[in-house]
Amino acid sequence: MVKILSTLITATLCLSMVSAHGLHSIEKRAELVCPTVYAPVAPGAYPALDCTPFTEDPQVQAWLKLVDFSKTPVFPPSIKGECPVDTASIPKGRCWWTCQKCEDKDDIVVCPKVGTWGLTYDDGPSPDSPRLYDVLKQHNTKATLFIVGSRAVSYPETLKRAYNEGHQIAIHTWSHAKITSLSNAEIVAELKWTEKAIFDVIGVSPIYWRPPYGDVDARARNIATQLGFKTAIWTQGFDTKDYEIPTAATPETIVAAFKSWLVNIPNMKTGFIVLEHDVLPEEVDVAVKGILPIAYAAKGLTMEPIAQCLNDGKPYKEGAGTFKLLPPSSTGTNGTTGPSVVGGDGKNTTSAAVGSVLATNAPAWMAGVSIAIAAMFSAY
């Protein structure tokens, strides 16, 4: 058993290294042309989709009054969110997550409890999101969904469903902007238009936000905090890179990397938060056919929305909304399953049952995974 396990670990680590040396564009989205001439947003309407909103708009001007910019650290906007060649030249106080690997004390980057996975999906809602919601619902699993404001406008019914099914709805900016590249006023516009678009659909205002690409610094954090938002990123190294399918990554490399993380979980001092997406069909495919079946088959792992793992019963400015804070689960390395692995009918779903589903529905590239995972988790 130990030999099988060590062979598996070696294989998965090699695959991880290969993918780590591949192309490293963070997220690929189509280039689009945004308006360059300001026109006020009509009452009841929204700014141009996927474009940073104009700050001259009276609505944005009103939101600017919510922030005392004399308290905001002064750093020049980055150039397209990209790190300077000499990262040592960045002032320490800027605490730029992507370029300096700097975490502020208030950044949410882990779940506190070992074995707890802050389950998150970014960039939705999309036409493919319902396939993800179906699987989560089947297992009574809730996630944190970081919503792009423009997508909330495009797919309000999908967002409504996510909210009604008890997922934690959170903010991922209006246009999926590289936030450090924006002016102070543009950061306000990106966050508040998204908050408004979500509120208009579900009637509550999210408190949690995630900077696209993890691109955040002290200036952006300060503005977000003054607006009442909590900055949630992900655990360093826990990026699935699902957005790189099918170019720099494949479902196989992503699943292999994910499996290598699972091996390390018992040795971590905390739980973890993973970066995944639900905007492209390939991203949803690898989640529902690759990652989730493995996770459901794994013992000692509890998947929760970030607010749940932080024991925060108020993820919205208005309170709990449809989010239900469950009692702390008994998780960790003791082999028990938490409340997230409960069937939709309220009965416990055993890992054996999930394993059989995996065996019958899994695509070819998943062959053997359930056996490998069983070996992996029997080792601790």
Residues classed as catalytic: 122, 277
Exactly one of 115, 206, 212, 305 binds Zn ion (CB under 5 A); which one?
212
Using CA atoms, how far residue 334 sits from 265, 288, 327, 331, 370, in Å, is 13, 26, 18, 7, 20
**DSSP for 298-341?**
-TT-EEE-HHHHTT-S--BTTB-TT--PPPPP--SSSS---TTS
Report, in Å, the least distance between residue 266 CB and Zn ion: 30
Per-residue contact flags (x/-) with Zn ion for residues 225 to 264, judged by CB under 5 A: ----------------------------------------
* Shortest reach from residue 248's CB to Zn ion, in Å: 17
Stretch that binds Zn ion, among 68-76, 205-213, 259-267, 338-346 (CB under 5 A): 205-213
Minimum CB distance to Zn ion smaller for 107 or for 123: 123
Mark the segment that binds Zn ion (CB under 5 A) among 5-13, 39-47, 82-90, 212-220: 212-220
Give DSSP secondary structure letters for 265-283: GGG-SS-EE-B-B-SSHHH
* Closer to Zn ion by Cβ: residue 123 or 282: 123
Q: How far is the CB of 173 from Zn ion (least distance, A)?
A: 8
Instruction: Read off the tokens for 201.
Output: 């659909």
Smallest distance, Zn ion to C-beta of residue 203, A: 24
Residues 90-129 that bind Zn ion (CB under 5 A): 122-123
Helix (H, G, I), strand (E, B) or coil at 140: coil
User: What is the C-alpha separation between 154 and 150, in angstroms, rounded?
Assistant: 6
Q: Is 170 helix (H, G, I), strand (E, B) or coil?
A: strand
| Distance between CA atoms of residues 99 and 84, nearest Å | 8
Residue 215 found at the interface with Zn ion (CB under 5 A): no
Residue 212 or residue 271: which is nearer to Zn ion going by CB? Answer: 212
Nearer to Zn ion, 122 or 282 (CB): 122
Q: Which x/- pattern, by CB under 5 A, does the window 268-297 give for Zn ion?
A: ------------------------------
Stretch that binds Zn ion, among 69-77, 124-132, 134-142, 207-215 (CB under 5 A): 207-215
Radius of gyration of the chain (CA): 21
> Looking at beta carbons only, is 123 or 186 nearer to Zn ion?
123
Q: Least distance (Å) from Zn ion to the CB of residue 230?
A: 17
Q: Measured at CB, which residue is nearest to Zn ion?
A: 122
Tokens of 222: 């300060």
Q: Give me the least distance between CB of 155 and Zn ion, in Å please.
A: 16
In whole angstroms, what is the distance from residue 376 CA to residue 92 CA?
41
φ, ψ for residue 170, nearest 5 deg: -140, 175
Q: How many residues of this chain interact with Zn ion, rule: CB under 5 A?
A: 3
Give the x-and-dash track for 158-187 against Zn ion (CB under 5 A). ------------------------------
Place of tokens 């699972």: 262
How far apart CA 40 and CA 43 sit, in angstroms, is: 9
CB of 176 or CB of 299, closer to Zn ion: 176
DSSP string of 33-94?
A: PPP-S--PPPTT--PPTTSPPPSSSHHHHHHHTT--GGGS---PPPSTTPPPS-GGGS-GGG
Contact residues for Zn ion, defined by CB under 5 A:
122-123, 212
